[in-house]
Amino acid sequence: MLNELRPAFVLVLVMTVLTGLVYPLAVTGIAQAVFPRQAAGSLIEKDGRIVGSALIGQSFAGEAYFHPRPSAAGTGYDAANSGADNRGPTSAALIGAVTDRIARLRADNPRGAGPVPADLATASGSGLDPHISPAAAAFQIERVADARHVPAAQVRTLVEEHTEGRTLGLLGEPRINVLLLNLALDERLPVGR
């Protein structure tokens, strides 16, 4: 019986070493060699300290900042609890949450033009999306400009400068990283200037 079980034990041991040690180390090494910034988490530094990651959204409050998508991850942008809330489109709880968000967005952005963009009223699949659409940024421009006491055109120019196009010209949609945009706002159009 031992002769029959030995190949199975050896195979489990070999596959454990290959898939649990060799492969992860090889992939990590290649990633760090080819994409060092991304492999390190795409961390963003300001004044010598890390303020966030370009890959994970974070909450911004206050009238002077662009607000991100809502997060369904834990207590909000909690990477340890990433995921959607799994409510279906006919869920009364989801409809109520979206309706409440839309009312709050309208109250916070009374001069926001047009309908509330969907990405401001609904969470992303991961709950950690760091981007908003150009329409979501445009909806918030007047509020941010008023809070910073600058013309809306200056804020709009900054939004346009931070709009990323489609990946390779065809994949995805145009988007804006909220953290990078808010850092640029503080640098170029500081509050109370």
Question: How large a percentage of the chain has pLDDT more than 70?
Answer: 98
DSSP string, 117-165: PHHHHS--SSS---EE-HHHHHHHHHHHHHHHTS-HHHHHHHHHHTEE-
Task: With respect to residue 193, please indicate whether it lies within any of the assigned structural domains.
Answer: no
Residue 9 sits in the same domain as residue 99: no
Tell me if 181 is assigned to some domain.
Answer: yes
- Residue 181 identity (one-letter amino acid): L
86 and 160 in a single domain? The answer is: yes
Confidence at 4, pLDDT banded by 50, 70, 90: confident
Per-residue model confidence (pLDDT) at position 149: 93
Distance, in Å, from the CA atom of 43 to the CA atom of 35, rounded to the nearest integer, reads 13
Rounded distance between C-alpha atoms, residue 120 and residue 114, angstroms: 13
Q: Are residues 82 and 172 in the same domain?
A: yes
Helix axes 178-188, 134-148, angle to 10 degrees: 30
pTM beyond cutoff 0.85: no
- Which of 92, 128, 100, 129 lies closest to 116 in space, CA to CA? 100
CA distance 77 to 44: 16
Q: Are residues 56 and 145 both part of a single domain? A: yes
Q: 161-191, pLDDT tens digit by residue? A: 999 999 898 999 999 999 999 999 999 988 8
pLDDT in tens, 71-88: 877 677 777 777 777 788
114: confidence class by pLDDT, cuts 50, 70, 90: confident
Contacts of residue 182, defined as CB under 8 A and 6 or more positions apart, other chains included, come to 60, 65, 66
What is the span of the domain harbouring residue 11? 1-40
Q: How many other C-beta atoms lie within 10 A of the C-beta of residue 192?
A: 7
Question: Bridge-partner residues for 50, per DSSP?
Answer: 45
Same domain as 3, residue 72: no
Token pair for residue 66? 């662009």
